[in-house]
Amino acid sequence: MRRFATARQVLCAFLTPAALSIALGPMPVSADGLLEAMNASEEITYSLLSTKTTDVSGTTTKLEAASYVSRSNLRLNYNLLPKLNLNAGGTYEKNLTEVSLDKDDTESEITRIRPYVWLTIRDPVIGAAAGYDLSDETFKSSGQETTLTRETYNANLTWRPIDLPSTQGRYIRTLTRDGERAFLDTEQDQYYLKSEYLYHGLDVRYVGNYLQARDNLAESDSTLISHEAKVLYASTFLAGRISASTDNNYRTTEIRTNNPASLAAFGTAFALQQVAVAGRSAVTNTVLALPLPPSPPPDVWAVNAALIDGDPTTSAGLDIGSSGSGGFLRQVGLEFGSAETVSRLLVWVGGFGPSAPPVTVTSWFSWTVYTSTDNVNWTLHATVQPATFGPFALSFVIDFPATTTRFIKVVTKPLDAAVPGALPNIFITELQAFTTGTAAGAGAAGQKLTIVQSVRSHNLDIKTIILRAPSLYYRFTGDFEEFQPTDEHRYGMSHGLVLTHRLTPILTASANTTLELGTERDNSSRATVLYYASLGATPLRTLTDNLVFSGSQQHAGPTTTTSNSVVLYNTAQLYQGFDATLNLGAVFSSNEQERSVILRRREYYVNVGTGITPNPRLNLTTYYLGKLTRASGGTTGETQETTEHRLDLGLSLTPFRAIILSATANIESQTDQEMRVTQNYGLSWVPFPDGTLQFSLSWAESRLPENTRSQIIQPTVRWYLGARRRSYLEATYQINTSKTSTVKTESQLFGTSLNIYY
């Protein structure tokens, strides 16, 4: 540990003069070269939280938490030579927290040090890079001290010759341990190779990965070897009348270990990732307690490509931080090409800085996992609290009993603002699924285990234009997958015709039909017929009508599912600034099981919406949905009738540039259930937004069903220290009151921060 203590001393000595110079105020840099390539920042934050909770019996619980955080950053980005770049820097952070719960006091101290250095050769043909970074985190509490350290060595080499295959090689060595090497001491060496050749529409690539890991405490070695080969081709023929593309892939993974149980120490390094074909997310309009939120409708449970784009640093649009406290549930999910075995979900988060959130925040979240076969009807599978977080990877690790499913989702609530160390923004950035069967099984030291899995897939897509006017084309798609060592196969093919034609300048017609055939991995066959027809009319520039009929009939084993719907869509601009929609629809579905068990469902609905903007400062919105559902059949043969009504009202008013008023109301009623009314009101006042000294006042109140209310009042003062408006001193004071039928919580939060950039 001597070298790590020395490293801390060196970095502190390096950052101290920089911090002192920064504290004197940002000053223009006139030096050339190295000084111009340097920049630094100092962030100092202090917060004091006081919370009082009273339950129905009159019992009062008081919580006080004081937190001091100081973070120093120093960065250098300098070209030593025209093609040689030096990128180095470091972060030193000190976090002091004191929590008092009734008469129990707890003090904790977290120290983080993160230096790094990279040397990069930048050349269009040959590129190379070598880097080192250290992450050292020390946690002290109740006289106990724990240190976690991770060292990472990197070496990259790229070769991009013109008209020849490009090649990329990478080596990463990672050492992870605690201070005394008592419960964690692992080593990992990873070799990565990727080669790709592009020629017109041809794309040939190979990816190889070799990962060797050692758990020095368990005295076990593990090795993962994976190979993936892919051939893609796309082209057009006969003057563009025929377009074709094919995607062929072969992936094999081998895991060898002499202690299956020890694999858990390596996180997801030895877990097999299940690749999703789509990510989905929703912010559901409900305040029902977990674990039984209603399934979101299709227009809310929307595809979210950012959840599976492989980027764990960019927000996917869902915030689970305290800024959404008391709000709707957050749902994120994955869709697989076929049913896959999943026993772990990774929810990556960001938006709160480079350091991990405190344990009081990460342990607060409860994660509920649901599975589905059709993306409509969901079954509760497991609830996990708390989920493992970090410390080096900014992700929640949600482990649960293995399940085989095609659709999976996880649901959680936004962070409560009263939680000590609450962060206003915690954005979900990525969702990944894994199967961890190798880590789940217990194994004694010396036990050997080898797992080999391979997947071969082929896909072909052909589109043939039969007529150009009217537009008529035929589309064929086929896919095949082989899974080893289970010797399972899955294939599917579809034949479709698509017709589109403008009958008159006002009328447009379109129709398509598709036949899908295939078998699943369990050798069960499926056949589906899809059909669609629409007639659109635009009699006026401000009026659009569209009549749509669609349906499907699916045969899967002993089950036949039929669904037909007819919907009339109408949109109109009645006046400038006055838009309206009227939709009328009916859905008829049936599910025929073995032994003539038939389920029938009829849905009729009307949807009316308006948007009124008489002037840019005022916006009014209304939305109404009425639905009648009749369900019959099943084992009892009874008929159930359900009526649902939903009304959403919204208002946004900006009487002056500095004042914004908002109000929303939601009213829901359903047969045999009490009416639910949700109201939200907000006020924002920023009297001089362009000044050096700024003041803002925000007020928000929510009135929720079941006698639940919450109110937040927050004034903020910010003083910019320079004309560049980067460095500033800020102070905030928040009063948060929430009340339910069983508990009342009152909290006050004072916070101040100094951010200086140099």
Residue 46 contacts residue 67 (beta carbons within 8 Å): yes
436: exposed, middle or buried (C-beta count within 10 Å: 0-12, 13-18, 19+)?
buried
Give dist(CA 31, CA 475) in Å, integer: 65
Confidence tier at 690 by pLDDT (50, 70, 90): confident
Give dist(CA 563, CA 307) in Å, integer: 30
Q: What is the percentage of the chain residues whose pLDDT exceeds 90?
A: 50
pLDDT in the model for residue 741 = 84
Q: What is the percentage of the chain residues whose pLDDT exceeds 70?
A: 88
pLDDT in the model for residue 511 = 97
Q: Please tell me what DSSP assigns to residue 415.
A: P
pLDDT in the model for residue 425 = 86
pLDDT tens sequence across 61-99? 888 889 999 999 999 999 999 999 999 999 999 999 888
Mean pLDDT of 18-47: 64
Tell me which of 182-186, 290-294, 360-364 is least confident: 290-294
The DSSP-derived string for 191-220 is EEEEEEEEETTEEEEEEEEEEEEEETTTTE
pLDDT in the model for residue 353 = 72
Q: Which position has the higher pLDDT, 558 or 60?
A: 60
Taking CB atoms within 8 Å and a gap of at least 24, the contacts of 7-10 are 7/113, 7/115, 7/134, 7/136, 8/111, 8/113, 8/136
Tell me which of 456-470, 656-670, 699-713 is least confident: 699-713
Confidence tier at 673 by pLDDT (50, 70, 90): confident
Q: Is the pLDDT of residue 674 over 70?
A: yes
Q: Which residues contact 50 (CB under 8 A, 6 or more apart)?
A: 62, 63, 64, 747, 748, 749
Q: Report how far Cα 101 is from the mean position of its chain's Cα atoms.
A: 34
Q: Which residues of 256-272 are buried (b: 16+ CB within 10 A; e: fewer)?
A: bbbbbbbbbbbbbbbbb
Which residues lie across from 418 on neighbouring strands? Answer: none
Tell me which of 25-29, 182-186, 381-385, 593-597 is least confident: 25-29
3 state SS of 182? coil
Q: Which residues contact 325 (CB under 8 A, 6 or more apart)?
A: 414, 415, 416, 417, 422, 710
Q: Report how far Cα 526 is from the mean position of its chain's Cα atoms.
A: 32
Angle formed at CA 200 by CA 199 and CA 204, multiple of 5 degrees: 40
pLDDT in the model for residue 273 = 76
Q: Is the pLDDT of residue 257 over 90?
A: no
pLDDT tens sequence across 480-503? 989 888 888 889 999 999 999 999
Q: Which position has the higher pLDDT, 655 or 22?
A: 655
Give dist(CA 220, CA 448) in Å, integer: 10
Q: Is the pLDDT of residue 4 over 50?
A: no
pLDDT tens sequence across 132-181? 999 999 988 878 888 999 999 999 999 999 989 999 999 999 999 988 88
Which backbone phi and psi does 484 adopt, to 5 degrees?
-125, 150
pTM, two decimals, is 0.76
480: exposed, middle or buried (C-beta count within 10 Å: 0-12, 13-18, 19+)?
middle
Give dist(CA 421, CA 214) in Å, integer: 36
pLDDT in the model for residue 30 = 39
pLDDT in the model for residue 260 = 56
pLDDT in the model for residue 299 = 40
Q: Which residue has the tokens 């004197």?
A: 24
Residue 38 contacts residue 74 (beta carbons within 8 Å): yes
Handedness of CA 263, 267, 270, 276 (dihedral sign): positive
3 state SS of 305? helix
Residue type, 674: E
Q: Is the pLDDT of residue 16 over 80?
A: no
pLDDT in the model for residue 17 = 36
Mean pLDDT of 581-607: 86
Which backbone phi and psi does 263 adopt, to 5 degrees?
-65, -25
- Rounded to the nearest integer, the mean pLDDT of the chain is 85
Q: Report how far Cα 632 is from the mean position of its chain's Cα atoms.
A: 38
Give dist(CA 474, CA 464) in Å, integer: 5
pLDDT tens sequence across 396-447? 999 899 899 989 999 998 887 767 777 888 999 999 998 875 433 334 445 6
Confidence tier at 596 by pLDDT (50, 70, 90): low
Give dist(CA 91, CA 41) in Å, integer: 10
Residue 738 contacts residue 745 (beta carbons within 8 Å): yes
Query: Could you count the other beta carbons within 10 Å of the beta carbon of residue 728?
Result: 17
Left, alpha or beta for 194 (phi > 0: left; psi -120 to 50: alpha)? Answer: beta
In angstroms, the Cα distances linking 219 to 1, 223, 449 are: 21, 14, 15
